[in-house]
């Protein structure tokens, strides 16, 4: 049985102000070729298909095209992440299932496995089977009441796995597709924080009983340390969405599941444009040949002049046309102020609001103000999953 695990496409996302939809299209075209080349039995997408709950028409069209092309070739299994609208993504789920697209968007589908049977040309060999269970992103503030469990990510995930273990056939390999922040995972700047107070992560032991856990949410490709007999991986985002991901080798996971066990092979994804950080005074950045190899990269420039140079961004873009971020870090220790562009879409909304209060009022937000902000953000999140 061959399964392909991918996640965190974030279709429609920008890198600062630059649309990435053409880069995402390159990835999806590549993904389709991998399904053909490796004769994949199913593609599993572990959430955050879209970057926002109400995507643009162009973004929906791209996903529709990719879904059609994948469904022509194999089974497709997908769940919503914390960026997706479960209601919108789950629309027409039963109809899509008839077309080999399994959208498991709600908690009511937790105990309904997808049973896959591998194709074999050897009639004397028993066909390999695997059961796949799906856990979409579960907002604790909304789902803890339904599950009658602790109001935390660990609480709702634990309740979901209890349902799954109650119906699973442990004589057959079990794969769990989940969008969650598992303890020990290494995050990046480009993920939206799932925390509004409390602890946002959950221990991997919650998934006990699964052979493989196909995780989504964290953008760095990584394996999570697990007990014996279980393998858990974040496939990571297919392309970089922040400079914190500079140098990462993005990939999807090709799984081979047999009666002997589970093997994970990483397939590196195409990189339409790399990211690079350059550092030095403005004259060095504009003339030093050491930077010749990154002139077509997305650029974060850290300028170390003791005095802020004139028109730094315009001058840098003459040599590095794709400069996106400019920071000032003077070599003179007496000048400690650092100016930095940030991508507000990736920050915790509570943090953004509290920093705004600090900026406007000149004092930190009070505990009462922070509580009101957290409550407001929580109400918005609950509205998105209802």
Question: DSSP string of 119-188?
Answer: --S-TTSPPPEEEEEEE----HHHHHHHHTS-SSHHHHHHHHHHHHHHH--TTS-EEEEEE--BTTPPP-
More confident call, 159 vs 229: 159
* Pairing verdict, β 42-45 and 2-6: parallel
Where does the pLDDT of residue 190 fall: very low under 50, low under 70, confident under 90, or very high at 90 and above? confident
pLDDT at 264: 95
134 shares a domain with 45: yes
192 shares a domain with 128: yes
**CA dihedral for 308, 309, 310, 313, sign (positive or negative):** negative
pLDDT at 217: 94
Identify how many contiguous H helices and E strands the chain contains and give both numbers: 10, 17
Which of 219, 240, 268 is at the close of a domain?
268
294 shares a domain with 254: no
Ranges 52-61, 191-200, 205-214, 313-322: which has the least confidence:
191-200
Would residue 29 count as lying in a domain? Answer: yes
Supply the mean pLDDT for the chain. Answer: 88
pLDDT at 154: 92
DSSP letter for 190, please.
T
Residue 44's closest CA among 68, 86, 74, 83? 74
pLDDT surpasses 80 at 228 = no
**CA dihedral for 7, 10, 16, 22, sign (positive or negative):** positive
Which of 253, 268, 283 is at the close of a domain?
268
Which of 268, 285, 306 is at the close of a domain?
268
214 shares a domain with 72: yes
pLDDT surpasses 90 at 270 = yes
Total number of domains in the chain: 3
Q: Which residues contact 177 (CB under 8 A, 6 or more apart)?
A: 44, 46, 77, 79, 104, 132, 133, 134, 135, 214, 216
pLDDT at 336: 44
pLDDT at 185: 83
Would residue 337 count as lying in a domain? Answer: no
Q: Which residues contact 310 (CB under 8 A, 6 or more apart)?
A: none
Q: Per-residue pLDDT averaged across 340-360, rounded?
A: 68
Site of tokens 């650092």 = 338
380: domain range? 348-385
pLDDT surpasses 80 at 283 = yes
250 shares a domain with 279: no
What is the rounded CA–CA span in Å between residue 42 and residue 119? 11
CB distance 220 to 187 below 8 Å: yes
Residue 48's closest CA among 79, 4, 94, 14? 79
279 shares a domain with 262: no
Where does the pLDDT of residue 338 fall: very low under 50, low under 70, confident under 90, or very high at 90 and above? very low
Would residue 333 count as lying in a domain? Answer: no
Q: Which residues contact 350 (CB under 8 A, 6 or more apart)?
A: 196, 370, 373, 374, 377
356 shares a domain with 303: no
314 shares a domain with 229: no
Report in angstroms the alpha-carbon separations of 364 from 193, 195, 369: 21, 20, 10
pLDDT surpasses 50 at 337 = no
What is the rounded CA–CA span in Å between residue 6 and residue 255? 11
171 shares a domain with 140: yes
**Helix, strand, coil % in the chain, rounded to nearest 5:** 35, 25, 45
- Residue 71, token pair as written in the block: 């469904």
Where does the pLDDT of residue 72 fall: very low under 50, low under 70, confident under 90, or very high at 90 and above? very high
Would residue 114 count as lying in a domain? Answer: yes
235 shares a domain with 88: yes
pLDDT at 258: 85
110 shares a domain with 125: yes
Q: Per-residue pLDDT averaged across 6-34, rounded?
A: 97
What is the rounded CA–CA span in Å between residue 328 and residue 304? 6
211 shares a domain with 311: no
Instruction: Supply the angle between the helices 140-147 and 367-385 in degrees, to the nearest 10.
Output: 70
pLDDT at 196: 44
Angle at 374 between CA 368 and CA 380, to 5 degrees: 140
Residue 342's closest CA among 330, 317, 325? 325
Where does the pLDDT of residue 121 fall: very low under 50, low under 70, confident under 90, or very high at 90 and above? low
* Residue 232 CB-half CA count within 13 A: 28
Bin 180: left if φ > 0, else alpha if -120 < ψ < 50, else beta.
beta
> Which H or E run contains 29?
helix 21-38
Q: Which residues contact 363 (CB under 8 A, 6 or more apart)?
A: none
Read off the CATH number of the domain in which 142 is found.
Answer: 3.60.21.10
More confident call, 278 vs 377: 278
């Amino acid at each position: 049985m061959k399964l392909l695990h991918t996640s965190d496409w974030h279709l429609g996302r920008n890198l600062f102000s630059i649309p990435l939809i053409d880069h995402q299209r390159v990835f999806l075209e590549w993904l389709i070729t991998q399904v053909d080349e490796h004769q994949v039995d199913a593609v599993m997408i572990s959430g955050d298909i879209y970057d926002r709950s109400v995507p643009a028409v162009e973004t929906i069209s791209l996903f529709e095209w990719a879904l059609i092309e994948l469904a022509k070739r194999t089974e497709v299994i997908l769940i919503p992440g914390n960026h997706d609208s479960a209601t919108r993504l789950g629309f027409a789920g039963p109809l899509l299932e008839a077309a080999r697209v399994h959208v498991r968007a709600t908690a009511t589908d937790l105990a309904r496995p997808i049973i896959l049977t591998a194709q074999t040309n050897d009639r004397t060999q028993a066909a390999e089977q695997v059961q796949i269970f799906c856990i979409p992103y579960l907002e604790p503030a909304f789902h803890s009441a339904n599950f009658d469990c602790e109001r935390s990510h660990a609480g709702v995930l634990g309740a979901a796995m209890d349902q799954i273990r109650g119906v699973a056939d442990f004589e057959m390999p079990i794969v769990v597709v989940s969008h969650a922040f598992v303890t020990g995972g290494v995050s990046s700047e480009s993920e939206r924080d799932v925390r509004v107070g409390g602890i946002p992560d959950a221990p991997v032991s919650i998934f006990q009983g699964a052979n493989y856990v196909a995780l989504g949410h964290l953008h760095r490709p990584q394996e999570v340390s697990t007990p014996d007999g279980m393998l858990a991986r974040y496939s990571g985002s297919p392309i970089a969405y922040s400079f914190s991901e500079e140098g990462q080798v993005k990939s999807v996971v090709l799984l081979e599941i047999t009666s002997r066990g589970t093997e994970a092979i990483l397939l590196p994804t195409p990189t339409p444009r790399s990211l690079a950080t350059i550092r030095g005074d403005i004259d060095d950045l504009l003339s030093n040949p050491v930077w010749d190899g990154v002139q077509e990269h997305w650029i974060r420039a850290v300028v170390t002049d003791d005095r802020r140079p004139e028109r730094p961004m315009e001058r840098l873009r003459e040599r590095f046309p794709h400069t996106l971020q400019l920071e000032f870090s003077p070599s003179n220790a007496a000048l400690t102020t650092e100016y930095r562009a940030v991508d507000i879409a990736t920050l915790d909304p509570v943090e953004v609001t509290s920093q705004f209060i600090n900026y406007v009022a000149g004092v930190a937000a009070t505990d009462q103000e922070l509580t009101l902000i957290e409550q407001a953000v929580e109400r918005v999140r609950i509205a998105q999953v209802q």
